[in-house]
Amino acid sequence: MEFGKFGGQFVLGPILKAVKEVEEAYNKYKRDEDFINEFKFYLRNYANRPSLLYFAKNMTDNLGGAKIYLKREDLNHTGAHKVNNVIGQALLAKRMGKKKLIAETGAGQHGVATATAAALFGMECEIHMGYVDMIKQSLNVYRMELLGAKVVAVHDGLKTLKEAVDSALMTWSRELEDTFYLLGSAVGPHPFPTMVRDFQKVIGEEIKMQLQDEEQKLPDYVIACVGGGSNAIGAFYDFIDNPSVNLIGVEAAGKGIETKEHAATMTLGVEGVIHGMNTIVLKDQDGEIAPVYSLSAGLDYPGVGPEHAYLKEIKRVKYVSATDEEAVQAFEYLSKIEGIIPAIESSHAVVEAMRLAPLLNKDQIIVVNLSGRGDKDVKQVARFRNYELID
């Protein structure tokens, strides 16, 4: 196991062989100077890094208490943090001689980023997406197709992210020779959780440097939303060894954790195996993986990355939840007070900042990882507010 009792490679047969191939390649290239320099080149010149660390003065003044900074991953090319990891894995796939990228997506941002990288590097691309999520995120479906990707609608189960992962893994198992599975979150069998974290940790590294320049100190709190957990582990990782920095992950409480319609894995989950990893999962009364729900297509996942499970176990990160209603209120609040429309996923993190800031002193600092922009969510939030947009 890579993270205490969590992690592992709970896959068999040809998929295990393919995972071992990825592990061997990543171990080879992660310290290769040419690979690292090429990754940094594309982050800088294509993805638009470093992303800004923005002092949210209006929000700070309005809430009182702590200073609030927003890490603007929404300003990256493709509109979210996903592009960081996608560039890294796509470059690895090229070095492995793969011709095709296959991926799962929930909110569509990872799918868009993967389709973008495939277009950039001249690779074939296939994205698996739950049919329910396709309806929620029809704009992103069209963006993926516009970029040249084939989008596969998954009609199994709840037709959301878990089933999209299942479908992508099944297809990968039939096309291992020339296909690379580009996993979008810090989940799955080793080395994927570690690899995704390593490609996303640039977020926390930049926060640390940028805040040092701006305030000459570390943040008191770093807050990020958690589904599978890639943006959160990216924001948290560089601060894990700084005990003065409080780390808070915010997951989806959906219609309330007292109902069955939520995705609050860290709040109500138990240890279990999903998608090739031992981690914390939500189970039903029969011990099976439970159906989950969130207004946010990117957070409706019944598990979490194994490193998050470990960080919870050692009490290094605090995990809380926010309901759909709270997230929509935060979505509307940030839009009106700062002129920034956040992704509905990111809005869950904004909820916690809104709760926390008034309780802190004016010399304390909160950094919220704004993992994506909210263009994709406008129709859905309007519908949530019973306002039907006409195309």
Residue 280 pairs with which residues in a beta bridge? 271
Contact 364, 120 (CB under 8 A): no
User: What DSSP character marks residue 257?
Assistant: T
Residue 270 pairs with which residues in a beta bridge? 281
Structure tokens at 117: 């990288």
Q: Looking at 67, 82, 100, 162, which residue is catalytic?
A: 82
Q: At 149, phi and psi to the nearest 5? A: -85, 150
Q: Looking at 185, 294, 296, 371, which residue is catalytic?
A: 371
Q: What angle do CA 189, 194, 200 make, to 5 degrees?
A: 130
Active site residue 162: no
Active site residue 371: yes
Contacts of 45 by beta carbon, 8 Å cutoff, 6+ apart: none
Q: Cα(130)–Cα(132) distance, rounded to whole angstroms?
A: 5
Contacts of 382 by beta carbon, 8 Å cutoff, 6+ apart: 388, 389
Structure tokens at 159: 């037709």
Q: Looking at 73, 104, 126, 352, which residue is catalytic?
A: 104
Q: Cα(382)–Cα(207) distance, rounded to whole angstroms?
A: 32
What is the number of other CB atoms lying within 10 angstroms of the CB of residue 338?
Answer: 20
**223 sits in which H/E element:** strand 221-225
Q: Cα(380)–Cα(343) distance, rounded to whole angstroms?
A: 11
Strands (E), 86-171: 100-105, 124-130, 150-154
Q: Cα(50)–Cα(350) distance, rounded to whole angstroms?
A: 21
Contacts of 33 by beta carbon, 8 Å cutoff, 6+ apart: none
Which of helix, strand or coil describes residue 104? strand
Closest CA to 373 of 331, 336, 323, 326: 331
Contact 297, 106 (CB under 8 A): yes
Catalytic positions are 82, 104, 371
